[in-house]
Amino acid sequence: MQPKKLNQIPKLIWFTGLSGSGKSTLCNALEKLLFEKGYYSYSLDGDVIRLGLCKDLGFSLEDRSENIRRIAEVSNLFLDSGLIVLASFISPLKKQREQVKKIVGKENYIEIFMSTSLEVCEKRDVKGLYKKARKGEIKNFTGISSEFETPINPNIEIDTSKFSIEESLQMIYKKIKTQINV
């Protein structure tokens, strides 16, 4: 009933990629665009989630997987209420992303892979995380001391070093609009 009331189809739009690849930037831009177009959405971001819901978790493989599981469960609650959920998480392993699909339902999951290269992400290193990881000050840092499994069949793939934010945003919206319209 809820999707009809909100005049939209709830979906989880999952942004995955390395730190600095443009996940949060595009997620925030998409949230703003959806709002302007009359959609109801909620955005979940890794940094914010780790301040509350997942503040008890570290960055070990087990903790990262539990972090993603919790996010998927929260996303499922938002989907049940009829909202479009925008989620920006590194989610480095295929099994983690598959677990999200299983929890929310494959038909409710849209994966956007930010394929921006490690070199570009390191140059953008706004928080200085890559430098710390290279010095060994941060353990289990994705792309440096912890692997990132490239998504094999994402719904959308964008390299933000080749497209502007606006171009990337329009590419995403063009692909998702038929999936979120009633």
Catalytically active residues, by annotation? 91
Q: Report whether 149 contacts 92 (CB < 8 A).
A: yes
Exposed (0-12), middle (13-18) or buried (19+): which is 127, by Cβ within 10 Å?
Answer: exposed
E-strand spans in the chain? Answer: 12-17, 41-45, 84-88, 109-114, 156-158
142 bridge partner residues: 146
Other CB atoms within a 10 A radius of the CB of residue 28 amount to 15
The position carrying tokens 């590194």 is 90
First-last CA distance in the chain: 12
